[in-house]
Amino acid sequence: MDLKEKIDLEKLPVHVAIIMDGNGRWARMRGKHRVFGHEQGVISVRETAEAAAELGIKYLTLYAFSTENWNRPMQEVEALMELLVQTINLETKTLIDNNIRLLTIGDTQRLNHQCYAELQKAIATTASNTRMDLILALSYSSRWEITEAMKQIAAKVRTGALQPADITENMISSHLATADIPDPELLIRTSGEYRISNFMLWQSAYTEMYFTQTMWPDFRKNDLHAAIIDFQQRERRFGKLNEQLNTCKK
């Protein structure tokens, strides 16, 4: 069944973030190498980005490589980097044709030189696109990001540019990698794991979580549509009472 027609386009989440999980297990279940799962996962990336843009979602963040993923066997890390370079080379034209801007969050300088350079090129080429931001979380972890923000703020306090009393939630947000990006309203994790895994810990304070058993390489447009329909059926109270929501608009 095509679920797209059931989506209320007036109530779309502005920012959807996805923890793409299950590539390795998906491949092993088929007797294939884990890297085959990542390769198939690229098809899901394409489908999901296309579906999000078609709907009018403004920000789509994909958790593609975590700080902890550096601890995987070297061959898998290298294969992922290679896949990333290939995908960027293949898809940059599609991003341009579809008016999509590519951004990254994370410690991307740790990526290998070629990967970093290709990414910077794609980011520059798509910089003026306005339809949707596709944000790749690469070499990203939330604790890394929060630690970096704390270092920057502490340095400003030391020079006197900032007083401790000036530190607010908004100011902390503005020092995170996501400074110019609104908090995600919907976070999807595939593969039946119920964890946040060091992803957008600060930003997901009021995010709706959607967990699906679907492995990332099987994730298709209809799966994104199902997650958005589920999101639209929830009541988002932001700490208020149900009665307060009915009487005053947030």
> Under the rule (CB under 6 A), what is the footprint of ligand FPP?
20-25, 38, 41-42, 45, 62, 64, 69, 80, 83-84, 87, 136, 191
Residue from 23, 69, 222, 230 carrying the catalytic annotation: 69
**Is 21 considered catalytic here?**
yes
Q: Are 197 and 221 in contact (CB under 8 A)?
A: no
Shortest distance (Å) from residue 209 CB to ligand FPP:
17
Tell me which residue has tokens 């503005």: 174
Tell me which residue has tokens 């999807």: 188
Cβ proximity to ligand FPP, 45 vs 111, nearer residue: 45
Give 122's contacts (C-beta < 8 A, 6+ positions apart): 88, 92, 95, 102
Shortest distance (Å) from residue 84 CB to ligand FPP:
5
| Cβ neighbours of 44 (radius 10 Å) | 24
Shortest distance (Å) from residue 91 CB to ligand FPP:
8
Cβ proximity to ligand FPP, 141 vs 191, nearer residue: 191
DSSP string, 161-175: SS-GGG--HHHHHHT
Shortest distance (Å) from residue 45 CB to ligand FPP:
5
Cβ proximity to ligand FPP, 41 vs 184, nearer residue: 41
Shortest distance (Å) from residue 56 CB to ligand FPP:
21
Contacts 24+ apart (CB under 8 A), 229-235: 229/3, 229/6, 229/7, 231/13, 231/185, 231/186, 232/7, 232/8, 232/11, 234/208
Cβ proximity to ligand FPP, 139 vs 149, nearer residue: 139
Q: What does the block give as tokens for 73?
A: 């066997």
Residue from 2, 8, 21, 170 carrying the catalytic annotation: 21
CA–CA dist 228, 6 (Å, integer)? 10
Cβ proximity to ligand FPP, 66 vs 178, nearer residue: 66
CA–CA dist 121, 115 (Å, integer)? 10
Positions marked catalytic: 21, 69
